[in-house]
Amino acid sequence: MLDIKQIRQDPKRFKVGLDAKNSGDELDTLLNLDQRRREAVTRSDELKALRNRVSGEIAQLKKNKQPADDKIQEMKQVGIQIKSLDEEIRQVEGQLDAIMITLPNLPHETVKIGESEEDNVFVKEWGNKPVFDYPIKDHLDLAEALGILDFHRGAKISGTGFPLYKGAGAKLERAFINFMLDFHVEKHGYQEIFPPFLANRKSTFGTGQLPKLEDDMYLDNTDDLFLIPTAEVPVTNIHRDEILAESQLPIKYTAYSACFRREAGSYGKDTRGLSRVHQFNKVEMVRFTTPETSCEEHEALLKDAEEILQALNLHYRVVSLCSGDLSFAAAKCYDIEIWAPGSGKYFEVSSVSNFTDFQARRANIRYRRTADNKVSYVHTSNGSGVATPRLMIAFLETYQTDEGTIIIPEILQPYTGFNIIKTQP
């Protein structure tokens, strides 16, 4: 959440930043409401001070057996004014809050101003696109021929967008998860977390999914709990309403979770095979940092996610999202896009985002500075390390053979227990 005091002090900066995210229309309304609230609070406080002073005078008059009826009547009128002002303050604060919770984070100063993904900035690429001297297939044709994925039965069980992994496919999916968790814990120094897969409204508000993205989430109405769209939600909320010591920072967590997304606005987009599904697996990385190290930690997150793909020898590129393509809560974001040769396109496999203090304000996550003992908001950042559906797409298509089998690279074999995937019985 943004800080109304900072908006009040520098409205032009916030207007520019919010316009860059196509969200600046209500800023004037917000500032007018803030002015009304402050004026009403000032007047109410003045009247309350007057009432306290005159109440003392009335008590003294009564003690001296002197008439106090005029002052008593005057204070009744003052009381009516106070009640009216307090009601106005309550209503205006409600209107203020309703706007504040919908305002996105400002883009970082290094982010390009742009409208859509067409304006994103290429940062770098790693590896080379694989070259084949025989006709190749996409992941769906490969998986169905090998018998390792069954979308038909998955749809029968749950509906479209719920893949069913079988045999070596299920083992490969589990291998990806365990490999990535071990990699982040052993090589990158993260603490592993196994979080709940359902989260309450405070948690989903804290990370910025609510109220904007509620329609894209699965909700259990009986208990008012959301199936998590990413482990970012429960892991970030581990420290909600806490004050950390500066000496604890940075805190680095990694977690596997199943992820659930209705994606109500995604109809008509590419949905072939695993490219867009409603349930998927992901290993997430979350960092809590000081403001001073925020950008450095964000870059380190990107490197950690990249090293997963490098270890698997999969070609990818990195783009920096423009302002119009940033998520609601992100100040800056890198997308890692993995190359899928059979599909002939790049798929986003990881988003690595810096939220500055935006999530921390919503979730009330603070830390106490060592130097002056003052309390400030932490900065949060996270990244997929990585999501498995599109990793599976690129992996199957990259490691296919002319016989339609899949070669398992050596680094993954301790997790699969096999070095090749052949047609399942």
pLDDT digits (tens, 9 = 90+) for 112-144: 999 999 999 999 999 999 999 999 999 999 999
DSSP state of 379: E
Q: Is the pTM of this model over 0.95?
A: no
Q: Which residues lie closer than 8 Å to 214 by C-beta, 6 or more apart?
A: none
The 10 Å CB-count burial string (b at 16+, else e) for 53-89 is ebeeebeebeeeeeebeeeeeebeebeeebeebeebb
pLDDT at residue 263 in the model: 76
- Distance of alpha carbon 24 from alpha carbon 14, whole angstroms: 8
The CA distance from 9 to 34, in Å, is 12
Domain with CATH 3.30.930.10 in the chain: 117-421
Torsion sign (Cα): 88, 91, 95, 96:
positive
**Please, where in the chain does CATH 1.10.287.40 lie?**
4-100
Q: Report the DSSP pairing between strands 279-289 and 379-387.
A: antiparallel
Give the pLDDT of residue 86: 97
pLDDT tens sequence across 325-338 = 999 999 999 999 99
SS3 state at 419: coil
What pLDDT is stored for residue 270 in this prediction? Answer: 65
Residue 31 burial (CB < 10 Å; 0-12/13-18/19+)? middle
117-421 CATH fold: BirA Bifunctional Protein; domain 2 (3.30.930)
Contact between residue 409 and residue 314 where contact means Cβ atoms under 8 Å apart: no
- Residue 326 gets which letter from DSSP? S
The predicted structure's pLDDT at residue 207: 98
- DSSP characters for 270-306? --STTSS-SEEEEEEEEEEE-GGGHHHHHHHHHHHHH
The residues, any chain, with a CB within 8 Å of residue 284's CB and separated by 6 or more, are 230, 231, 232, 235, 254, 255, 256, 257, 382, 383, 384, 385
Compute the chain's Rg from CA coordinates.
28
Distance between CA atoms of residues 228 and 261, nearest Å: 8
Q: In terms of Cα–Cα distance, which of 188, 196, 132 is closest to 403?
A: 132
pLDDT score, position 417: 97
Bridge-partner residues for 226, per DSSP? 199, 219
**Cα gap 95→118, rounded to integer Å:** 35
Q: What is the mean pLDDT of the chain?
A: 96
Q: Which residues of the chain have pLDDT under 50?
A: 267-268
Say if residues 404 and 146 touch (Cβ distance below 8 Å): yes
φ, ψ of residue 42 to 5 degrees: the values are -60, -45
Q: Read out DSSP for 143-202?
A: HHHHTSB-HHHHHHHT-TT---B-THHHHHHHHHHHHHHHHHHHTT-PEEE---SEE-HH
Say what the alpha-carbon torsion angle 171, 176, 180, 183 is, to the nearest 10 degrees. 70
**Which fold, 4-100?**
Helix Hairpins (1.10.287)
Q: Which residues are catalytic?
A: 261, 276, 348, 351, 390
As beta bridge partners, residue 339 has 346
Residues in CB range of 81: below 8 A, 6 or more apart: 47
Cβ(374)–Cβ(348) under 8 Å? no
Torsion angle (degrees, nearest 10) of CA 318, 324, 326, 330: 130
CA distance 148 to 23: 45
Q: What is the pLDDT at residue 107?
A: 98
Report how far apart the first and last C-alpha atoms of the chain are (Å, whole number). Answer: 54
- Looking at residue 72, its pLDDT comes to 92
Give the HSE-up count for residue 31: Cα atoms under 13 Å, Cβ half-sphere: 13
Give the pLDDT score at 266. Answer: 52
